Amino acid sequence: MTPKIAIRDVNKQFGQGAQAVQALQHASLDVADNEFITFVGASGCGKSTLLRIIGGLETQSSGQVLLDGAPVTGPGADRAMVFQHYSLYPWLTVLDNIKFSRQLAVNQKDRTSVDVERASGRADALLSLMGLTAAAHKYPAQLSGGMQQRVAIARALMSKPRVLLMDEPFGALDAQTREVMHDLICHVRRLEQVTIVFVTHDVEEAIYLGDRVVLMAPRPGRIDTIYPVPLPAARDQDMKLAPAFTGLKREILNRIRDTAGMKTDLEQLQKLSGLAALHA
Ligand SMILES: Nc1ncnc2c1ncn2[C@@H]1O[C@H](COP(=O)(O)OP(=O)(O)OP(=O)(O)O)[C@@H](O)[C@H]1O
Ligand SMILES: [Mg+2]
């Protein structure tokens, strides 16, 4: 079966000569239709770069990304992105933010009244799905961070994307709000039948949400290890205490530490504090 997303030997270099950064080297991965893939890894290992390449916001130096077998050549309504910062239009209400998604605006000149009606129906359905009905006529500044992010997700879903690309979407939220968002996004995924590629710094979040966790490593940015998550498809918060969950979390955290060069940093620090003790 054709994968939903096929990442084929993708390389990305920023800059030239001594300034060159190899942000991605030989990245290859197949993502199945309706799969939830999570990416973790040390800062600077190329997670956002890879996500932006899939989104068509960045071009690779070599290699290919295929969506349903067709090469990605730029952004499109079939892929929607959600970032850490909600980037809502502050002058529009919640409902208008959802209705006037950028992807829809592109096609606005060709829209008929039937399209507009259909869009209104979908906006209402998304408001209800995201628990935002009561906030429909509020402005972003009147909402909590968690609610603003729900608006951003509803807006991303408005164009019925086949793929949802999320870059640390819950990074700015507190732990309790984040748990609510986790269960919400699992529900959205089941209802909307959307393939999700999700970048996070939080290993627990990556395991809880993911069918597979992809660990990336820096210098050069690359895919290091792919961990299938040994949990039932329908997740609940209690699973975070299961040995299969905690064991995988420990394994991934250790591997991040090994690949990030943090151990060497720590050894240097210990040496330095040893030296400081000698001079005291
Ligand atoms: N536009 C750019 N110009 C030059 N270098 C860039 C650019 N974008 C990213 N880089 C570099 O490419 C590497 C990968 O960056 P990227 O943002 O993809 O990492 P990341 O894994 O998302 O990191 P973080 O976890 O901190 O968000 C880094 O070394 C970064 O400095
Ligand atoms: Mg990033």
User: How far is 90 from 152, CA to CA, in rounded Å?
Assistant: 12
Å from CA of 85 to ligand 2 middle: 12
Q: Work out which ligand 1 atom sits closest to the CA atom of 168.
A: 27
Contacts (Cβ under 8 Å, ≥6 apart) of 105: none
Task: List CB contacts of 60: < 8 A, sequence separation 6 or more.
Answer: 10, 11, 12, 24, 53
Distance CA 167, CA 111 (A): 30
CA of 24 to the centre of ligand 1 (A): 10
Give the number of whichever ligand sits closest to the CA of residue 58.
Answer: 1
Nearest of 14, 51, 23, 4 to residue 214 by alpha carbon = 51
In the numeric block, which tokens belong to residue 245?
């969950």
Ligand 1 atom at minimal distance to the Cα of residue 46: 18
pLDDT of the chain, 280 residues: tens digit per residue = 899 999 999 999 999 988 899 999 999 999 999 999 999 999 999 999 999 999 999 999 999 999 999 999 999 989 999 988 878 999 999 999 998 765 555 555 566 666 666 778 889 999 998 999 999 999 999 999 999 999 999 999 998 999 999 999 999 899 999 999 999 999 999 888 999 999 999 999 999 999 999 999 999 999 999 999 999 999 999 999 999 999 999 999 999 999 987 666 666 777 777 767 666 6
Task: Confirm whether pTM is higher than 0.75.
Answer: yes
Q: Given this model, what pLDDT does residue 87 score?
A: 84
8 A C-beta contact, residue 211 and residue 36: yes
Which residues lie closer than 8 Å to 208 by C-beta, 6 or more apart?
182, 235, 239, 240, 245
Residue pair 77/115 in contact by the 8 Å Cβ criterion:
no
Number of alpha carbons in the 13 Å side-chain half-sphere of residue 22: 13
Q: What are the residues whose beta carbons fall under 8 Å from the beta carbon of 249, sequence distance 6 or more?
A: 203, 204, 207
User: Helices marked H in the chain — which ranges?
Assistant: 47-54, 94-99, 102-106, 113-129, 145-157, 175-192, 203-209, 243-260, 262-279
Nearest to 189 by CA among 215, 144, 156: 156
Domains of the chain (ranges; CATH) run 5-78+163-279 (3.40.50.300), 86-160 (no CATH)
Tokens linked to 21:
């950064």
Ligand 1: residue whose CA is nearest its atom 3: 14
Among 11, 14, 51, 222, residue to substitute to test ligand 1 (most atoms within 8 Å of Cβ): 14
Residues 6+ apart with CB under 8 A from 128: none
Residue in 202, 213, 139 with CA at minimum distance from that of residue 170: 202
